[in-house]
Amino acid sequence: MMWDMLAFGPHARDGNWISNLPSVPTLDDVARSAGVSTATVSRCLNSPERVVEHTRKRVMAAVEQLGYTPNFGARVMAAKRTFTIGAIIPTMENAIFARGLQAFQEALHARGYTLLVASSAYQPKIEEEQIRSLVARGADGLLLIGHDRDPAVYEYLRARSIPVLSAWVYLPDCDQPTVGFDNRASMRALAQKVIDFGHRSIAMISGITEGNDRAAARLAGLRDALSDNGLDPGAVPVIETPYEIENGSVAFRTLMQGDTRPSVVMCGNDVLAVGALRGAREIGLSVPDDVSITGFDDIELARIVEPQITTLHVPHREMGRRAAEALIDIVEKRNSGASIELQSSIQLRGSLRDLRV
Amino acid sequence: MMWDMLAFGPHARDGNWISNLPSVPTLDDVARSAGVSTATVSRCLNSPERVVEHTRKRVMAAVEQLGYTPNFGARVMAAKRTFTIGAIIPTMENAIFARGLQAFQEALHARGYTLLVASSAYQPKIEEEQIRSLVARGADGLLLIGHDRDPAVYEYLRARSIPVLSAWVYLPDCDQPTVGFDNRASMRALAQKVIDFGHRSIAMISGITEGNDRAAARLAGLRDALSDNGLDPGAVPVIETPYEIENGSVAFRTLMQGDTRPSVVMCGNDVLAVGALRGAREIGLSVPDDVSITGFDDIELARIVEPQITTLHVPHREMGRRAAEALIDIVEKRNSGASIELQSSIQLRGSLRDLRV
DNA sequence: GATTCAAATGTAAGCGCTTACACTAACCTC
DNA sequence: GAGGTTAGTGTAAGCGCTTACATTTGAATC
């Protein structure tokens, strides 16, 4: 276990009375100034209805006048709550997470919570470290992406009674709550559509599946569809590569160099699909005339390129918002935290050719 | 002033001994288990070099065995530091901020800090509320975008000795540190290039300048360049609109409906430029043959569309990283916080036509 | 006017940690 | 060997807040 996070380093106690001059007012100062006890001031702030009107007015005036702001640490210590929620996402560089996180943050804010953010770069080890770090920072609850991780992590969180919510996946049978969609079924549906369009020679550019259950589920979904249609799921050329445009381009060109060119390249997300599209242009192939391309996520990019990319629309903003609400509900013990399923939907666009016509 | 953020709501003290069963170990437990005082345990964690080897080993073993994690609130209270940095950005939906924030977070993490995030949706009022909220949450320092805001905000922060860093702008004469580039000079340079290319009829699609000094500076930069070249800066058609693709499209079409069609439409950022490009396509205009378009920021989008957009490259990742380092340096009092200037650079691409050839 | 009871407020005990200061023991120096 | 260092450790005083419990106040009732 890493103890770095425990170390706050050597601290010079601020014993310098000079720097204390612009001292921040405390509850005590407010109490004295308003001529009441600290308890009353605290109640004015936390449960105003328990303080009679004229007292409250006097107190609030003192608060205002002194420019009082509660001390965070003291409050956390006494109340055992930080009203802070932690989120660990793979990266904010992918618009899908950036937008989900934006919606998540907005929803948290609406309910008086603040967001603590960390990123894992898709690396389980980094993610674990970040989980510890956010927990140590007092997060009241945690949002994680995907659900497949070391059981010890869940053990650790349970021991500390920190609620966790897994987003971007929907696992009804899981003992942890999830908010998301069925990656596997979604990809299966898209692949089915591709097959319906007459494609038989399918290749895939997948994200790295190791340690990424969404990527793995999408690949599995493609294999499901192939099996469903009597095609050999083992025969699909698959290249796994990190979600970067350039990688999509490289992978695409590699796939196209094989003996049997696929008629369609299905990508693990839109970023790879955009890369594939670029790769096609680079080697002079026309999409969708020479080869079709599909994506996943439906980020802005997918509709900006030419041709637009056929992809699966994922309601990322709604996912972020619902995740925030569900997580807060659990933190505040309003419910036990059932999973919420969101629907993805196929967006047929120019990058996929219908071979039947 | 809003006091909502002060209210933690009614709290039931966890007096239920049953729920205390899986109790989290405290410093005291560790001390007892290791047969030392709490001070020694604390020192082991915070300044190991001050504890003799064999004692330290014993203590760390106890820490390990008990699964001890320091209590955040108590630590904050005693140490007066949270090792948390707050950042308030307009929105994570724009890749420029998402990436800058990603780099910022990575750099913070590398130095043992955690990121608290909020967004303002470009609204000063919301931003102020968020500032108070993050300060109340104990942020040791704050990252803000741009520098133009109510002096009372800076007053508030100074009173609490919270260091602030303004990013995305470079203001050497400002008493607050900034990390960024000169928006005005950058736009001026780009406009000069546009003029050099023979364009005389220039229009601009700007972001909303009210409450956004970057947007205002970019517009001013364009006017500077016009003046420099003996053109009338007051004659430029300017449409201000929020940074959304669709708005760029609408604004572009509006500009094109005027009596005198501009030969180039300069946009306040790439998002608007991509929208403008889409607008051009919608009304059947060819870019750059019929009209040129320029952007600002150089996000991925700019190189994905066809034609690629001529824009100003802004080193957003570096900006995020440098901002994190500078801010931590200030928080840790390593220096007084001088501003850092980063360079933007013109990226000439297909969307800008050289009328001289 | 005495009695009752609820509402309003005050008192004070922690919460778990850091660190100034006190203490002890071991080692020098003269 | 007395006096002086110094390194290692312990003692205990807060840090500012919330809240259980005690007390006061004042209105309602008889």
Q: What is the average per-residue pLDDT within A115-128? A: 94
| End-to-end Cα separation, chain B, in angstroms | 60
Token pair 């004015």 is found at: A44
Q: Same domain for A34 and A131?
A: no
Cβ-Cβ contacts under 8 Å, B300 against chain A: 245, 301
pLDDT of residue A100: 96
pLDDT of residue A258: 82
Q: Same domain for A306 and A187?
A: yes
Task: Report CA(A134)–C1'(C1) in Å, whole number.
Answer: 64
Nearest CA to CA, how far is B68 from chain A (Å)?
10
CB nearest to B133's CB, from A14, A114, A159: A114
pLDDT of residue A78: 85
Select the residue from A42, A57, A102 to test the B interface by mutation, using most B Cβ atoms within 10 A.
A102
Cβ-Cβ contacts under 8 Å, A245 against chain B: 300, 304
For D18, nearest residue by CA–C1' is A78
Confidence of residue A60 (pLDDT cuts 50, 70, 90): very high
CA atoms of B252 and B276, how far apart (whole Å): 5
Please, which positions of strand C sit below 7 A from a protein CB?
A: 7-12, 14-20
pLDDT at A244 over 80: yes
For D13, nearest residue by CA–C1' is B78
**B81–A3: do the CB atoms touch at under 8 Å?**
no
From B57, B78, B99, the end of a domain falls on: B78
pLDDT at A14 over 80: no
Cβ-Cβ contacts under 8 Å, B156 against chain A: 67
Q: Same domain for B176 and B159?
A: yes
pLDDT of residue A9: 32
The answer to whether some atom of strand D lies closer than 7 Å to the beta carbon of A45 is yes
Q: Same domain for A187 and A301?
A: yes
Residue of B nearest to A120 (CA): B106
Taking CA B192 as the corner, what is the angle to CA B187 and CA B196, rounded to the nearest 5 degrees?
Answer: 150
Q: Same domain for B294 and B334?
A: no
How many structural domains does chain B have?
A: 3
Q: Is residue A355 part of a domain?
A: no
Q: Which residues touch strand C (CB under 7 A)?
A: A 8, 10-13, 15, 35-40, 43, 50-52, 54-56, 74, 77-78; B 24, 26-28, 38-39, 42-43, 45-46, 68, 70-71, 74-75, 77-79
Task: Report CA(B66)–C1'(C17) in Å, whole number.
Answer: 17
CB nearest to A160's CB, from B24, B116, B119: B24
For D19, nearest residue by CA–C1' is B13
Q: Any idea which of A12-26, A314-328, B27-41, B69-83 has the lowest mean pLDDT? A: A12-26
H or E stretch covering A100? helix A95-110
**B73–A71: do the CB atoms touch at under 8 Å?**
no
pLDDT of residue A46: 87
CA atoms of B47 and A331, how far apart (whole Å): 35
Q: Is residue A8 part of a domain?
A: no
The answer to whether some atom of strand D lies closer than 7 Å to the beta carbon of B343 is no
- Helix H segments across chain B? 27-34, 38-46, 53-66, 72-79, 95-110, 124-136, 151-159, 183-196, 213-228, 245-256, 270-282, 300-304, 316-331
Task: Report CA(A48)–C1'(D22) in Å, whole number.
Answer: 21
Q: Same domain for B299 and B333?
A: no
Highest mean pLDDT among A74-78, A240-244, B16-20: A240-244
Q: Same domain for A296 and A205?
A: yes
CA atoms of B323 and B121, how far apart (whole Å): 21
The first and second tokens of residue A195, run together, are 């097959």
Select the residue from B69, B99, B109 to test the A interface by mutation, using most A Cβ atoms within 10 A.
B69
pLDDT of residue A17: 31
- The CATH number assigned to the domain holding B93 equals 3.40.50.2300
Q: Which string of b and e fits A10-21 if b means at least 16 CB within 10 Å?
A: eeeeeeeeeeee
pLDDT of residue B7: 38
Cβ-Cβ contacts under 8 Å, B334 against chain A: none
SS3 B341: strand
Q: Dihedrals φ, ψ of A240, to 5°?
A: -100, 130
pLDDT of residue A265: 98
Q: Is residue B10 part of a domain?
A: no
DSSP states along B147-213: S---HHHHHHHHHTT--EEEES---TTSSS-EEE--HHHHHHHHHHHHHHTT---EEEEE---TT-H
**B137–A84: do the CB atoms touch at under 8 Å?**
yes
CA atoms of A232 and A285, how far apart (whole Å): 26
Confidence of residue A79 (pLDDT cuts 50, 70, 90): confident
CB distance A162 to A142 below 8 Å? yes
Cβ-Cβ contacts under 8 Å, B47 against chain A: 9-10
Q: Same domain for A190 and A155?
A: no
Cβ-Cβ contacts under 8 Å, B81 against chain A: 8, 11
Q: Is A168 left (phi over 0), alpha (psi -120 to 50) or beta?
A: left
Nearest CA to CA, how far is B223 from chain A (Å)?
31
Q: Which amino acid is at B109?
A: H
pLDDT of residue A156: 85
Task: Report CA(A23)–C1'(D14) in Å, whole number.
Answer: 17
Task: Report CA(A37)–C1'(C4) in Å, whole number.
Answer: 27
Q: What is the average per-residue pLDDT within A24-45? A: 91
Could you give the C-alpha distances from A325 to A135, A330, B6, in angstroms and in order? 20, 9, 21
Select the residue from B20, B49, B85, B92 to test the A interface by mutation, using most A Cβ atoms within 10 A.
B92
CB distance B115 to B105 below 8 Å? yes
Asked, as a colleague might, if the bond just before B307 is cis with ω within 30 of 0, I would say: yes
The answer to whether some atom of strand D lies closer than 7 Å to the beta carbon of A70 is yes
Q: Is residue A257 part of a domain?
A: yes
Q: Is A306 exposed, middle or buried (0-12, 13-18, 19+ CB in 10 A)?
A: middle
pLDDT of residue A240: 98
Residue of A nearest to B273 (CA): A304
Q: Which residues of chain B have pLDDT under 50?
A: 1-21
Q: Is residue A109 part of a domain?
A: yes
Q: Which string of b and e fits A262-277 if b means at least 16 CB within 10 Å?
A: bbbbbbbbbbbbbbbb
Task: Report CA(A66)–C1'(C21) in Å, whole number.
Answer: 34
Q: Is residue A5 part of a domain?
A: no
- Per the prediction, chain A carries an average pLDDT of 90
Could you give the C-alpha distances from A348 to A266, A353, B67, B247, in angstroms and in order? 13, 10, 52, 25
CB distance A265 to A291 below 8 Å? yes
Cβ-Cβ contacts under 8 Å, A273 against chain B: none
CB distance A71 to A45 below 8 Å? no
The first and second tokens of residue A13, run together, are 């106690």
Q: Same domain for A247 and A337?
A: no
Confidence of residue A23 (pLDDT cuts 50, 70, 90): low
Q: Any idea which of A40-54, A266-280, A283-297 has the lowest mean pLDDT? A: A40-54
Residue of B nearest to A85 (CA): B116
User: In chain B, which residues from 2 to 41 place their CB closer than 7 Å to nucleic acid strand D?
Assistant: 8, 10-13, 15, 35-40
Q: Domain containing A177: what range?
A: 82-181+316-343
Confidence of residue A272 (pLDDT cuts 50, 70, 90): very high
Nearest CA to CA, how far is B160 from chain A (Å)?
7
Q: Same domain for A104 and A134?
A: yes
CB nearest to A47's CB, from B10, B79, B245: B10
Q: Is residue B27 part of a domain?
A: yes
The DSSP bridge pattern shows strands B141-145 and B114-119 to be unpaired
pLDDT at A6 over 60: no
Q: What is the average per-residue pLDDT within A227-237? A: 95
Please, which positions of strand D sit below 7 A from a protein CB?
A: 7-12, 14-20
**B80–A22: do the CB atoms touch at under 8 Å?**
no
Cβ-Cβ contacts under 8 Å, A159 against chain B: 22, 24, 67
Q: Same domain for A197 and A220?
A: yes
Q: Dihedrals φ, ψ of B12, to 5°?
A: -85, 115
Q: Is residue B322 part of a domain?
A: yes
Q: Same domain for B147 and B102?
A: yes
- The CATH number assigned to the domain holding A71 equals 1.10.260.40
pLDDT of residue B71: 87
